[in-house]
Structure 1
Amino acid sequence: MVQEIGDLRVMIVEDQAILAMELELVLGDIGCDVVGSAMDRAGAFAVAERERPALALVDVNLLDGLTGPQIAQRLVADYGTAVVFLTANPEQIPEGFAGALGAVCKPFDAQTIKAVVAFARQFILHRTVGEAPRRFRLAPWLTTPPASIAPH
């Protein structure tokens, strides 16, 4: 049985066309609205500007190099988009994750993507962090408890 995620607007930033198409099918199966795909920084920003996605699945290393972290930072800052990194090279993820919620290492399966999208959806809608799905490396900024504010 396929768990419905709802009409979450998702963008895919992945330079392997077959993988991007596979992601699109998995996302469609759970009711997501895939609003566009891109293979590089320029394409990602064009889709983001036009579609304002709620979630972006972003490969770290793209056609134009190691631009995934720059894309993530701008998507979070300029569009309020939640970002999840997809990568075969987790050591390339910058410290602090450039504002991304976390990362999934390649290769991954459909169940992992579905679980990660459900996790991201909960964060987007409720600003709460549930239990991290298996094979999902949570960003350090989500695991650090907020600093308490000391009275003056």
Structure 2
Amino acid sequence: MACRVLIVEDEFLVATEIEYVVSELGHRPVGIAADQATAISLAPMAEVALVDLNLRDGPTGKDIGRMLAAEHGITVLYMTANPAQLGDGVPGTVGVISKPVADHEMKQAVSYAVARRHTLEAEPPERLKLFA
């Protein structure tokens, strides 16, 4: 079941690696957003978003994820080297996986987010911290 995926990441090499993995799984990347304005402009095209916290415009990822979930109905999964910045989590979002993320973990995380999007049963990756 293919899904449209938004990548919110300001490090170009990391973003293109995520884009490659998303495509390899049969999903369609709708774009790479390095800041809040770009993420919001791409939101109408996305079903799932993979969101880093610290972006080109500062630590805006937490708020971006909250907006994407609440205002656009997007299934949000955070991918960050700073998971502690999320505290106990962000209501309406799936969870967080700590970077660096190995390819097989990224594939599992994307597949889990897509399954959640389609309300299918799925096993979360071992390092994925789920939010309530």
> After TM superposition, where is structure 1 displaced by more than 6 Å over at least 4 residues in a row?
none
Answering whether residue 95 of structure 2 is matched by residue 112 of structure 1, we say: no
**Matching residue of 1:15:** 10
2:36 to 17, 36, 41: 41
Q: How does 1:68-83 map to 2 (within 5 A)?
A: 68-83=61-76
The number of residues matched between the two structures is 132
* TM-score (ref. length: structure 1): 0.81
Larger Rg: 1
**Conserved 8 A contact 1:72-1:98:** no
Structure 2 counterpart of 1:66, one-letter code: P
> C-alpha root-mean-square deviation of aligned residues, in Å?
1.4
Answering whether residue 115 of structure 2 is matched by residue 132 of structure 1, we say: no
C-alpha distance in 2 between matches for 1:70 and 1:129: 28
- C-alpha distance after superposition, 1:27-54 (max 9, x if no partner): 11110100111001011001113x1x11
C-alpha distance in 2 between matches for 1:119 and 1:39: 23
**Matching residue of 1:147:** none
Unaligned runs of 5+ in 2: none
**Which of structures 1 and 2 has the larger relative contact order (alpha carbons within 8 angstroms, sep 6+)?**
2
User: SS at the partner of 1:95?
Assistant: coil
Answering whether residue 120 of structure 2 is matched by residue 123 of structure 1, we say: no
More displaced 10-residue stretch of structure 1: 75-84 or 96-105: 96-105
- C-alpha distance after superposition, 1:123-152 (max 9, x if no partner): 1112x563321221111x1xxxxxxxxxxx
Structure 2 counterpart of 1:14, one-letter code: E
**Conserved 8 A contact 2:89-2:95:** no
Answering whether residue 50 of structure 2 is matched by residue 57 of structure 1, we say: yes
